A and B are shown apart, each in its own frame.
Chain A
């Protein structure tokens, strides 16, 4: 049976609400409207307004409420409509959610899940196209997840709900409509490890989120030219799976990072730095990256396309890494 990513997100929510009586969903328009991306559509009727809780447009307050409720026995799932709006809740996420365990000397935990949509590609222009997951991955005390496959969209959330610490889960807007077969053999996923999505020998493409599919397309094109690319789906952006990075670099000796975030001070920089720190002597070429151009995301499609990593630019960079470009 084919299913799309959005439906997988909804099934994940339902599993959480069914299995964990302390769980509730809270966010802007999650109830009557059904969620900005229709992930929670219909759930209000099933679970009622206490568990599918509409909030006013008060990102800082309802994220803070989630933190307080999590510290006091509940298992809140907070939906911030998009990561763009999460900036209004940065204080709560960074100064409270991420620090309370530490500030209290380990006495308190914040078992809170915050879901948010991320990414560009829908011609939503500069204020609605950010990719801030890499930014959040800078912060100790939170776990950052980026489901890029149907299975991860379906099972990462229930795993996140079992975490004793805050988890931020970034659903890429471009993926909600992605359709495919959900692997029936998968009943749960871990939220600790990167995944090898394609095995190869000539270079490793390290990526996550919507860039995964683009990277896999690029890998197909490269295969026709005799370049055999390995594709790693990072899945967990914090803490990074260092062992997986070292493992793949040992196999291929060449690294291309694909990240929809900006280059400067970004997650791509972190990945390249780790590869150099942990596997320098395995490298046979300088690590390279394809990121979003250093501009706010423009509205016109041709400019937006040009700003974002694309299969063609990924393939071109891969050729350069392999000394064939």
Chain B
């Protein structure tokens, strides 16, 4: 028997806090690896959080409806045959320079959190401030120490009105991530117009053999091309963390998706480089559906190694996108238009797409970026047979 402290995971580089919306398990339950145990609301939406161990639930420490910091212990699990470790990130990610350096060691202090129905653990000053501000300490989310501090109370008091509007919360989250990106990441931009006539022809032929429900959209072709190119471009695929490029061997392609009612999420298409066109299409369809209905998995929210943003449906010619921290690059796709195009010395009408790349100059330079873009084109036109 080994005890595991299950912490609020970081479901994105900019996530600092998450609200426990619904527990899917109860103490005493036996859970399997990969099972969703809790639904967590973040600024980016409702996420299913999985457990990566076979375990028995010992205690749920955070009541539903309560928001806690990333790294705060929210449950205790008994992991059969496993050494005791901490599940989830051990400290909040370094999102701002003013915050503390992340620690690599396990927490020095035993995790403190409020077992369900037990007394609320708050510092004396926090209780005094809460009384003064008319805040119920039981509703205040503790920080990583597990003890509600005066700062937690002040934050709760300040955000209790603002955060009632999820749209506004989403806006603020995007604002924080994008401002961070523009503040810290030295972007460079490349773009290229690509003749995709042959690709569309191939797609038409491919879809002709399929029922309507299984038809592949052009976006899946682009996604597949980006994923394949990314697998061969370590300086584009991964993350920039603590001053170093951390390349990823797998490609988890973030697929920027507008949310109904405003806002944007980019859940990752996991192992996108291994997917054929049909599999890519169904992966995209699945994720888009879940963006609308809720039920994105925690890993999908945090695993992205590169992002694709396609805005062609809305009629834009091209897009100069902003990188999602801490990723290294983002690929943009505009609409496909019919244009006069010179082929073999003659002007003809062809279907043309403007592909663009924004990449982190700390990880790569324009030369590598151009080759990456070319590689995408190569994987797109003409698409190889699946």
A and B touch in the complex (CB under 8 A): yes
Q: In the complex, what distance in Å separates the CA atom of A240 from the CA atom of B230?
A: 67
Nearest Cβ on chain A to B60's Cβ, whole angstroms: 23
Interchain CB contact under 8 A, A323 and B108: no
Given A319-B100, A324-B100; A281-B144 close (CB under 8 Å): no
Q: Does B145 contact A (CB under 8 A)?
A: yes
User: Chain B interface: which of A6-14, A34-42, A282-290?
Assistant: A282-290
Which B residues are CB-close (under 8 A) to A53? none
Q: Does B101 contact A (CB under 8 A)?
A: yes
Nearest Cβ on chain A to B143's Cβ, whole angstroms: 6
> Is chain A's interface secondary structure helix, strand, loop, or mixed overall?
loop
Contact of B125 among A225, A281, A320, A324 (CB under 8 A): A281
Contact of A282 among B98, B125, B143, B144 (CB under 8 A): B125
Interchain CB contact under 8 A, A225 and B101: yes
Q: Does A280 contact B (CB under 8 A)?
A: yes
Q: In the complex, what distance in Å separates the CA atom of A225 from the CA atom of B150?
A: 21
Q: Does B206 contact A (CB under 8 A)?
A: no
> Is chain B's interface secondary structure helix, strand, loop, or mixed overall?
loop
The contact string, 1 if C-beta is below 8 Å from chain B, for chain A 165-177, is 0000000000000
Interchain CB contact under 8 A, A282 and B124: yes
Nearest Cβ on chain B to A290's Cβ, whole angstroms: 13
Interchain CB contact under 8 A, B124 and A281: yes
Q: Does B228 contact A (CB under 8 A)?
A: no
Contact of A320 among B101, B109, B124 (CB under 8 A): B109
The contact string, 1 if C-beta is below 8 Å from chain A, for chain B 117-137, is 000000111111000000000
Interchain CB contact under 8 A, A283 and B101: no
Interchain CB contact under 8 A, B145 and A323: yes
* B contact residues, total (Cβ < 8 Å): 19
Q: Does A253 contact B (CB under 8 A)?
A: yes
Which B residues are CB-close (under 8 A) to A324? 100
Nearest Cβ on chain A to B131's Cβ, whole angstroms: 10
Given A253-B150, A284-B150; A323-B143 close (CB under 8 Å): yes
Which B residues are CB-close (under 8 A) to A319? 100
Q: Does A226 contact B (CB under 8 A)?
A: yes
Which A residues are CB-close (under 8 A) to B109? 320
Q: Does A325 contact B (CB under 8 A)?
A: yes
Interface size class of A (residues with CB under 8 A): 10 to 19
Contact of B108 among A225, A283, A285, A320 (CB under 8 A): A320
Q: In the complex, what distance in Å separates the CA atom of A284 from the CA atom of B122?
A: 8
The contact string, 1 if C-beta is below 8 Å from chain A, for chain B 129-157, is 00000000000000111010111000000
Interchain CB contact under 8 A, A284 and B149: yes
Q: In the complex, what distance in Å separates the CA atom of A325 from the CA atom of B145?
A: 10
Which A residues are CB-close (under 8 A) to B147? 285
The contact string, 1 if C-beta is below 8 Å from chain B, for chain A 251-293, is 0010000000000000000000000000011111100000000
Contact of A323 among B124, B126, B128, B149 (CB under 8 A): B149
Contact of B145 among A253, A281, A283, A285 (CB under 8 A): A285
Q: In the complex, what distance in Å separates the CA atom of A226 from the CA atom of B94?
A: 14
Hey, which bits of chain B sit against chain A, CB under 8 A? 98, 100-101, 103, 108-109, 123-128, 143-145, 147, 149-151
User: Ordered nearest first, which 9 A-B pairs have the shortest CB separation?
Assistant: A324-B100, A284-B125, A284-B123, A281-B124, A284-B150, A283-B124, A323-B145, A280-B124, A281-B128
Given A225-B100, A284-B151, A323-B145, 5 extra CB contacts under 8 A: A253-B123, A284-B126, A285-B147, A285-B149, A320-B109
A-B contact pairs, 30 of them (CB 8 A): A225-B100, A226-B98, A226-B100, A253-B125, A253-B150, A280-B124, A281-B125, A281-B127, A281-B128, A282-B124, A282-B125, A283-B123, A283-B124, A283-B125, A284-B123, A284-B124, A284-B126, A284-B149, A284-B150, A284-B151, A285-B123, A285-B147, A285-B149, A320-B108, A320-B109, A323-B143, A323-B149, A324-B100, A325-B103, A325-B108
